[in-house]
């Protein structure tokens, strides 16, 4: 076949590898799958959400200069059971949403929180069962 078959991972380069990894593990509950150094010297950590196959590759490569994330450049989106409960989880860690939840009449909604480098993380709550998406 001459076409891509499957998304394997998405890479984000960061300035502070350990701070970023702590965020993804503690705030989002991701699991560290593997960690290694690339042939060119990048430190790489691969993370996975519990119900996903795709990985997130966090890269630390100081030789390419500091990371400066532009506003609204890119984001990762994760499914959560409840934006309200996730907001309480954020508060327990001393964090808050960067964009407060917007919940529609069907119960579906979304909110954003910023990762340490400024990458946006979108949290999505699905509509209540029985309501149209």
The CATH T-level fold of domain 1-62 is 2,3-Dihydroxybiphenyl 1,2-Dioxygenase; domain 1 (3.10.180)
Distances (CA, A) of 41 to 54, 55, 108: 24, 20, 43
CB atoms inside a 10 Å sphere around CB 106 = 13
pTM exceeds 0.85: yes
pLDDT tens digits, one per residue of 7-43: 999 999 999 999 999 999 999 999 999 999 999 999 9
pLDDT tens digits, one per residue of 66-101: 999 988 889 999 999 999 999 999 999 999 999 999
Distances (CA, A) of 12 to 51, 103, 108, 127: 20, 29, 28, 30
CATH number for the domain running over 69-133: 3.10.180.10
Which residues of the chain are in CATH 3.10.180.10 domains?
Answer: 1-62, 69-133
């Amino acid at each position: 076949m001459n076409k891509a078959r499957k998304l394997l991972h998405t890479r984000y380069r960061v300035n502070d590898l350990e701070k970023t990894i702590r965020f993804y593990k503690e705030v989002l509950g991701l699991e560290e799958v593997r960690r290694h150094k690339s042939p060119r010297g990048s430190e790489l950590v691969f993370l996975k959400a519990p119900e996903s196959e795709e990985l997130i590759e966090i890269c630390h490569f100081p030789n390419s200069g500091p990371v400066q994330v532009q506003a609204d450049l890119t984001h990762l989106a994760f499914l959560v059971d409840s934006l309200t409960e996730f907001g309480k989880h954020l508060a327990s860690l001393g964090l808050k949403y960067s964009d407060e939840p917007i919940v529609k009449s069907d119960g579906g909604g979304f909110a954003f929180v910023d990762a340490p480098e400024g990458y946006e993380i979108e949290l999505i709550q699905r509509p209540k069962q029985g309501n149209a998406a």
